[in-house]
Chains A and B, each alone.
Chain A
Amino acid sequence: MSALLSLTDLSVALNARTVVNNVSLSIAQGEIAALLGPNGAGKTSLIRAALGLIAPSAGAVRLGADAPSKLSSRERALRAAYLPQRPQSIWPISVEHLVALGRYAYGAAPDRLSGADQAAVDAAIKACALEPLRARRMDEISGGEKGRAHLARALAQHAPLLMLDEPTAGLDPAQALAIADIVRSHAAHGAVVFSTHDVALAARTAGRVLLLREGRVIAEGAPEIALTSETLEAAYGRRARIDRVGDTFAATFL
Chain B
Amino acid sequence: MSKATRLSLVLLVISALALFAALYLGPVALANPFASDEETRTIVWQIRLPRALTAWLVGAALGLAGAALQGLLRNPLADSGVLGLSGFAALGAVIAFAFGFAAFAPAAALFFALLAAALVTALGWSNRGPASLVLIGVGLSSAAGGLIALALNLAPNPGALADLVNWTLGSVEGRSLNDVALVGAFLIVGAALILFAARGLQALTLGEEAAAAIGANLSRTRALVVLGAAACTGGATAVAGVIGFVGIAAPHLVRAMAGHDPARLLLPSAFAGGAMLVCADIAVRLLPTDTELKLGVAAALIGGPIFALIAARLASRSAEA
* A interface, CB within 8 angstroms of B: 48, 51, 53, 72-74, 76-78, 80-82, 84, 87-94, 97-98, 101-102, 104-105, 109-112, 137, 153, 157
Contact = CB atoms under 8 A, between A and B. Distances in A.
9 contacts: A73-B212, A73-B218, A78-B215, A81-B213, A87-B210, A91-B74, A93-B261, A104-B214, A104-B216
Contacts, number: 89
B261 A111 contact: yes
Contact of B209 (A72, A84, A111): A84
B321 to A, nearest CB: 11
B209 A101 contact: no
A93 B260 contact: yes
Interface in B237-266: 255, 259-264
A105 B204 contact: no
Contacts of B210: 82, 84, 87-88
B217 interface: yes
A137 B256 CA distance: 11
Given A73-B216, A73-B218, 19 more contacts: A48-B209, A53-B213, A73-B212, A77-B213, A84-B210, A87-B206, A91-B262, A93-B205, A94-B259, A98-B205, A98-B206, A101-B203, A109-B199, A110-B261, A111-B2, A111-B261, A112-B2, A153-B206, A157-B214
Contacts of B202: 101, 104, 109-110
Nearest to B2: A111
A76 B215 contact: yes
B100 interface: no
Contacts of B305: none
B207 interface: yes
B206 A101 contact: yes
**Ordered nearest first, which 3 A-B pairs have the shortest CB separation?**
A77-B215, A105-B215, A82-B213
Interface string B284-313: 000000000000000000000000000000
A177 B91 CA distance: 60
A84 B213 CA distance: 10
Given A97-B261, A109-B199, A89 B205 contact: yes
A90 B74 contact: yes
A51 B213 contact: yes
A64 to B, nearest CB: 15
B260 A88 contact: no
Nearest to A103: B214
A112 B216 CA distance: 18
Interface string B205-230: 11101101111111000000000000
B256 to A, nearest CB: 9
Contacts of A93: 205, 259-261
Contacts of A137: 260
B209 A82 contact: yes
B259 A53 contact: no
Contacts of A87: 206-207, 210
A182 to B, nearest CB: 18
B109 to A, nearest CB: 31
B203 A104 contact: yes
A72 B216 contact: no
A220 B273 CA distance: 59
Contacts of B217: 72-74
B206 A89 contact: yes
A89 B214 CA distance: 14
A90 B260 CA distance: 10
Contacts of A72: 217
B74 A53 contact: no
A84 B207 CA distance: 10
A111 B74 contact: no
A53 B2 contact: no
